[in-house]
Amino acid sequence: MDVLTPQQRSKNMKAIRSKNTKIELLLAKTLWAQGIRYRKNDKTVFGCPDLTIKKSRIAIFVDSEFFHGKNWETEKYRIKTNREFWWQKIEKNQKRDRIVNDHLVNNGCKVLRFWSKDVLKNLDICVDQIKAVIKENKDDQVF
């Protein structure tokens, strides 16, 4: 049983952004300030990564802990309402994430996935990881 009316729930769900979230923009602006150029939500790359560094063949995703199921086996029991719907949705998202990762890796790309709270709390560490991968992939191949 939902504690909100259908209209309230609809309003809440419409407010959840799927791209250009505050945390994605924080990471993007930090990379840009350090001279790292990227594309945002590039639809030409399988899975439409949040950020793409084509020169280094890097796809970056910033995942929400809830919608992508961080610590899913223990956290899924915290969902109290509409469990069947949410469990199915989150597990489907996880499956899609694995398919996207496999496809990109099999096509010679490096995939970096960050949890949104990790970006928020440890931005420097996330940026350092991206820089390290750029340094590894110094070749000039593009997608």
pLDDT value at residue 111? 97
CATH, residue 127: 3.40.960.10
13 located within any domain:
no
pLDDT value at residue 21? 86
- Return the closest-CA partner of residue 117 out of 15, 30, 23, 50: 23
- Return the closest-CA partner of residue 22 out of 141, 139, 123, 106: 123
86 located within any domain:
yes
pLDDT value at residue 143? 53
8 located within any domain:
no
- Return the closest-CA partner of residue 50 out of 20, 26, 29: 20
2 located within any domain:
no
C-beta separation of 65 from 117 below 8 A: yes
Which residues touch 18 (CB under 8 Å, ≥6 apart)? none
Per-residue pLDDT of the chain (143 residues; tens, 9 = 90+): 667 787 886 777 676 766 778 999 999 999 999 999 999 999 999 999 999 999 999 999 999 999 899 999 999 999 888 889 999 999 999 999 999 999 999 999 999 999 999 999 999 999 999 999 999 877 545 55
The per-residue b/e assignment along 92-115, b for 16 or more CB within 10 angstroms, e otherwise, is: ebeeebeebbeebeeeebbbbbbb
23 located within any domain:
yes
Sign of the torsion formed by the C-alpha atoms of 37, 119, 59 and 45:
negative
Residue-range definition of the domain harbouring residue 101? 18-136
The Cα–Cα gap between 34 and 102 comes to 29
